[in-house]
């Protein structure tokens, strides 16, 4: 699906992209090198189109979070929150993820035509995260509103350069609520994610309320739109590749659904690229990049590099996808990968059981407009019948 990336990889593996003010690397080997070396390619003070990313964000940019930090700050934060994402904790969520998927799929497929994004791909991840965090039932609607607002702020800030007043207002409401709930859970822990974070223990210090809020927002941004886009991209890939859709229909097991989800991650990566900042002059892909430059590692292109994946333009759920770059690489490797690897196959399997023969409705799918940028990719709406 990426004809330009073929050209980049072959003709300009280190490419100065003026509109982003960044050096772009597109080969598998170079993308890995950038992400494996945080001392040379830092996550602190990233610039988007020359402007500090933290100035464009509705978050308080002065609070360190997982995504915008390097070691040793990153190491400390990651140690604190990774306890919440251990495989046992994630697998315990399976019955609830299944129950939610069943509900959304049943409701959605009761209509002849439906928007898959609205019916399943968006509500499932946000519900899972709000339950995981322990957002009170009475505030779930607010949480969904804050979440939608934050999620759309990504596309909006890329387009307009800054978040709207409404996005900032929602971010502040969420911050106040998270501070309130962090304090409640500190006094009376309930076993939810926030309790775990504010309690510390096992040698770990507790997170401050500000850090809890910042982490909750990261989960919303990092965990929702990405999973939503993955589900949307999976359905699109199946519908556009009838042979593979047939293969899944003949054998709609959890294992086969997981293969579809992994191959979609590779084939149509929800996160297309990651930015870093060089801490010194570096040699990269045979060229020179000065200190303080923005470097974009094109995950989506690495996933299509024939040096790593043979016949990369073919959507093939039966292929080996080891080493796919869609969750990043190295110290920032996606913390939510095990959750996604639970959620996407469970949802897909439920859909295959209820509605194994879906096709596009008369309305054509629309991609989200991320301001012409290629950070993220997914359908805005996907009407099926």
Residues that bind ligand HEM (CB under 6 A): 43, 66-67, 78, 129, 218-219, 222-223, 226-227, 230, 270-271, 274, 326-328, 332, 334-336, 339-340
Between residues 12 and 131, which has the closer beta carbon with respect to ligand HEM? Answer: 131
Provide, rounded to whole angstroms, the least separation between the CB of residue 341 and ligand HEM: 9
User: Closest-CB residue for ligand HEM?
Assistant: 336
Cα–Cα distance for residue pair 233/116, rounded to 1 Å: 11
Provide, rounded to whole angstroms, the least separation between the CB of residue 251 and ligand HEM: 23
- Which segments of 329-381 are extended strands (E)? 366-367, 379-381
Per the CB < 8 A criterion, the answer to whether 230 and 344 are in contact is yes
Provide, rounded to whole angstroms, the least separation between the CB of residue 230 and ligand HEM: 4
For residue 381, with 0-12 CB atoms within 10 Å meaning exposed, 13-18 middle and 19 or more buried, which class applies?
middle
Q: How many other CB atoms are there within 10 angstroms of residue 246's CB atom?
A: 11
Between residues 271 and 351, which has the closer beta carbon with respect to ligand HEM? Answer: 271
Q: How many other CB atoms are there within 10 angstroms of residue 78's CB atom?
A: 17
Provide, rounded to whole angstroms, the least separation between the CB of residue 224 and ligand HEM: 7
Q: Is 334 helix (H, G, I), strand (E, B) or coil?
A: coil
Provide, rounded to whole angstroms, the least separation between the CB of residue 329 and ligand HEM: 8
Per the CB < 8 A criterion, the answer to whether 321 and 266 are in contact is yes
Cα–Cα distance for residue pair 121/380, rounded to 1 Å: 10
Q: Is 17 helix (H, G, I), strand (E, B) or coil?
A: strand
Provide, rounded to whole angstroms, the least separation between the CB of residue 76 and ligand HEM: 11
State both tokens at 349. Answer: 């399997």
Between residues 67 and 207, which has the closer beta carbon with respect to ligand HEM? Answer: 67
Between residues 363 and 367, which has the closer beta carbon with respect to ligand HEM? Answer: 367
Q: Which residues contact 108 (CB under 8 A, 6 or more apart)?
A: 114, 116, 119, 120
Between residues 67 and 346, which has the closer beta carbon with respect to ligand HEM? Answer: 67
Q: How many other CB atoms are there within 10 angstroms of residue 7's CB atom?
A: 12
Between residues 7 and 45, which has the closer beta carbon with respect to ligand HEM? Answer: 45
Between residues 12 and 334, which has the closer beta carbon with respect to ligand HEM? Answer: 334
Q: Helices (H), strands (E): how many in the chain?
A: 17, 13
Provide, rounded to whole angstroms, the least separation between the CB of residue 335 and ligand HEM: 4
C-alpha dihedral over 364, 369, 372, 373, to 10 degrees?
-120
């Amino acid at each position: 699906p990426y004809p330009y990336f073929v050209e980049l990889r072959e003709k300009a593996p280190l490419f100065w992209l003026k509109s982003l003010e960044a050096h772009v690397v597109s080969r598998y080997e170079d993308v890995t090198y950038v992400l494996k070396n945080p001392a040379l390619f830092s996550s602190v003070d990233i610039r988007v189109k020359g402007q500090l990313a933290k100035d464009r964000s509705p978050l308080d940019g002065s609070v360190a979070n997982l995504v915008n930090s390097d070691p040793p700050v990153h190491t400390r934060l990651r140690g604190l929150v990774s306890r919440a994402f251990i495989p046992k904790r994630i697998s315990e969520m399976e019955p609830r993820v299944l129950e939610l998927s069943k509900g959304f799929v049943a409701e959605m497929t009761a209509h002849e035509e439906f928007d898959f994004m609205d019916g399943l791909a968006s509500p499932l991840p946000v519900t899972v995260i709000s339950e995981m965090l322990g957002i009170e039932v009475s505030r779930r609607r607010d949480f969904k509103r804050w979440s939608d607002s934050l999620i759309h702020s990504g596309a909006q800030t890329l387009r307009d350069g800054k978040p709207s007043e409404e996005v900032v207002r929602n971010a502040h409401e969420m911050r106040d609520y998270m501070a309130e709930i962090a304090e409640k859970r500190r006094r009376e822990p309930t076993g939810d994610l926030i309790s775990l974070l504010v309690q510390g223990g096992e040698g770990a210090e507790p997170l401050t309320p500000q850090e809890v809020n910042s982490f909750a927002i990261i989960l919303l941004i990092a965990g929702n739109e990405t999973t939503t886009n993955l589900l949307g991209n999976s359905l699109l890939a199946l519908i556009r590749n009838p042979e593979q859709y047939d293969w899944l229909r003949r054998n709609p097991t959890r294992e086969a659904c997981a293969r579809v989800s992994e191959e979609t991650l590779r084939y149509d990566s929800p996160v297309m690229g990651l930015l870093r900042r060089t801490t010194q002059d570096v040699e990269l892909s045979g060229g020179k990049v000065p200190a303080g430059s923005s470097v974009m590692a094109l995950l989506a292109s690495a996933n299509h590099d024939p040096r790593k994946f043979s016949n990369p333009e073919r959507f093939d759920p039966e292929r080996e996808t080891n080493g796919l770059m869609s969750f990043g690489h190295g110290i920032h490797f996606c913390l939510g990968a095990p959750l996604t690897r639970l959620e996407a196959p469970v949802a897909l399997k439920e859909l295959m059981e209820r509605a194994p023969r879906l096709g596009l409705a008369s309305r054509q799918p629309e991609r989200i407009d991320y301001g012409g940028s290629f950070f993220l990719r997914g359908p805005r709406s996907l009407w099926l019948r």
